[in-house]
Amino acid sequence: MITGETLLYGLVAHPAHHSLSPLIHNMGFDQQAINARYVVFDSQSQPAAVSQAIDTLGIAGINLSMPYKQTMRPFVDTLSPSAQLSGAINTIKNDNGRLIGINTDGDGFWRALQQASPMQNRAQTVILGAGGAALAVIEAAASYGVQTLTVFKRANQTYPQVAKRLAKIATTRHITINLYPFDDEVALQQTLATTDCLINATNLGMQATPGFPIAPRLIAQIPSACLCADLIYAPRETAFLKTARLTNHPTLNGLGMLVEQAALSFEFWTGKTLVTAPIYAALTEENKQ
């Protein structure tokens, strides 16, 4: 029952109505008998307005997705070391009016990969895209056995800024990181020829007309043992993952990352553990309907 004492948590993003986060967190609150509810705020407001709303309305905690993971950073009071390094946040805790920003995306992704494919080699990993979620995955990679990361992104106005951030991550985390523009086809083909893990961190799979982050013919040429992962979970199988499956590559969608990053956010907010087994079961059942 919702009462005057019920704490409010939520997701701020656009688009957001497809999100499964309310199901996950509300199950968690029920598990732990916490008087709280989690809702979706599909917002296109400016980051400063979002920060003010959290404070004014006394919202206890917020998750962030596109387009807020990087733009909200200047509007929190404290950043965790990993959030500072990656330049992106996905979780905010309202600590008596003081907003604390962290990022659980990176650990969430690698934890999900470990659970789904514990024996998967990921020493040589390629990431397509360098947005907020990708930067979190990159920042956490060294802790999960990645030795060399090769990142491909569009050669746009953010390219120099991303190059500097990746250099700082590489120095701090003692990992080799290479950055190339998407249009460097020679570098792309050479890198894919020896990759252990290929991660799509672009949002192309969410578009009304599904797109590919790289040419489909290149997917067929990567090593057969290479895991192809997508950070997207809606749809469950993007065009990228479908092509990888049809060329007999192991695949992983973003559902596990969603659950694992949520578990880390839940613990940060409440100090309680989110039991994920029933969450996975509920999401699997929903997918059947």
The architecture that CATH gives domain 106-255 is 3-Layer(aba) Sandwich (3.40)
Tell me the residue type at 24.
I
Task: Give the residue from 256, 269, 150, 147 showing the smallest Cα distance to 199.
Answer: 150
Known catalytic residues?
A: 69
How large is the average pLDDT for residues 40-57?
Answer: 95
Average pLDDT on 20-36 reads 96
State the pLDDT at residue 203.
Answer: 84
Model pLDDT, residue 14: 93
CATH fold, domain 7-103, is Rossmann fold (3.40.50)
pLDDT digits (tens, 9 = 90+) for 225-265: 999 999 999 888 999 999 999 999 999 999 999 999 999 99
Q: Smallest Cα–Cα separation from 1: which of 41, 24, 28, 34?
A: 34
User: What phi and psi values does residue 230 have, to the nearest 5 degrees?
Assistant: -130, 135
In the structure, what pLDDT confidence band is assigned to residue 211 with cuts at 50, 70 and 90?
Answer: confident
Is the pLDDT assigned to residue 288 strictly greater than 70?
no
What interhelical angle do 159-173 and 132-140 show, nearest 10? 20
What pLDDT is attached to residue 206? 64
Q: Compute how many other C-beta atoms are within 10 angstroms of the C-beta atom of residue 113.
A: 22
Place of tokens 């252990």: 196
According to the model, what pLDDT value does residue 287 have?
59
pTM over 0.85: yes
CA distance 19 to 66: 12
Q: What percent of the chain has pLDDT over 90?
A: 87
Given a cut of 70, whether residue 70 has pLDDT beyond it is yes
State yes or no: cis peptide before 118, omega within 30 of 0: no
Q: Domain residues of the chain, as ranges?
A: 7-103, 106-255
Q: Which tens digits make up the pLDDT trace of 114-171?
A: 999 999 999 999 999 999 999 999 999 999 999 999 999 999 999 999 999 999 999 9
For 79-96, what is each residue's pLDDT tens digit?
Answer: 999 999 999 999 999 999
